[in-house]
Amino acid sequence: MEPNIPRRGMMLVLSSPSGAGKTSISRRVLAEEPELKMSVSMTTRTRRAGEAEGIDYYFVDLTTFNLMVNRREFLEYAKVFDNYYGTPRSTVEKELAGGRDVLFDIDWQGTQTLAQAARDDLVSIFILPPSTAELERRLRTRARDSLDEVARRMGRAADEMSHWPEYDYVIVNRDLEESVARVRAILVAERLRRQRQPGLAEFVKRLREGQ
């Protein structure tokens, strides 16, 4: 992409059943893509060991969450596994206005809401596990949730996976390196879309004038 052509930021959504690997993929892609910023969600879920406030989530109580809903401070929010999760509006708008892309780790409900609000700026990727047995193995080895929680997440997986046709791209996460490379390839291609380069008309006009 020509560095002097202003670019319009995109919203890149990763969704998957819990345990398929979207957090692992997101972390790696973010580390390798300086122009991509994470949208940190707010949740009423309790913090797991190893999770950090403001990095993994902003952890809030239900009263605070409801206050933000009433003030329309969420771009979207949804109830997942008996807890509430929401995307704060302010950071997303700031990054997009600055021409940077924003990565979202949100479920299919949130993806639908974003698609209704801003379809042209949205690129969505669904991550699938290679098999059910492997999904369960990943949830267990992650060892962050109780066995009950693992069973509950497995119970939800089939339902969540039924939403794959609503996404632009689908990646089966067999090998982490390969999945990271695939997400980065999608980023490269989507950034080159004509509508994401609003300065193109001016650039070509100058080219045609011999400048």
Ligand X SMILES: Nc1nc2c(ncn2[C@@H]2O[C@H](COP(=O)(O)OP(=O)(O)O)[C@@H](O)[C@H]2O)c(=O)[nH]1
* Residues at the contact surface with ligand X, assessed by CB under 6 A: 15, 18-19, 23, 41, 45, 76-78, 80-81, 85-87, 105-107, 109-110
Supply the DSSP symbol for 100: -
- Half-sphere exposure in the Cβ direction for 40 (13 Å, CA): 11
Residues in region 4-63 near ligand ADP by CB under 6 A: 16, 18-24
Q: How far apart are CA 185 and CA 130, in angstroms?
A: 20
Opening angle at CA 49, ends 36 and 12, nearest 5: 20
Instruction: Tell me: does residue 110 bind ligand ADP (CB under 6 A).
Output: no
CB of 97 or CB of 176, closer to ligand ADP: 176
Q: How far is the CB of 112 from ligand ADP (least distance, A)?
A: 19
Secondary structure class of 15 (helix, strand, coil): strand
- Half-sphere exposure in the Cβ direction for 41 (13 Å, CA): 23
Q: How far is the CB of 6 from ligand X (least distance, A)?
A: 28
165 is in an annotated binding site: no
21 binds, among ligand X, ligand ADP, none (CB under 5 to 8 A by kind): ligand ADP
37 is in an annotated binding site: no
Instruction: Tell me: does residue 182 bind ligand ADP (CB under 6 A).
Output: no
182 binds, among ligand X, ligand ADP, none (CB under 5 to 8 A by kind): none
- The C-alpha torsion from 45 through 48 and 50 to 54, rounded to 10°, is 10
21 is in an annotated binding site: yes
54 is in an annotated binding site: no
- Residue labelled with tokens 């409900």: 109
Q: How far apart are CA 147 and CA 101, in angstroms?
A: 36
For the chain, what is the radius of gyration of the CA atoms? 19
Residues in region 136-165 near ligand ADP by CB under 6 A: 138, 141-142
Binding site as annotated, residues for ATP: 16-23
Binding site for ligand ADP (CB under 6 A): 16, 18-24, 138, 141-142, 173-176
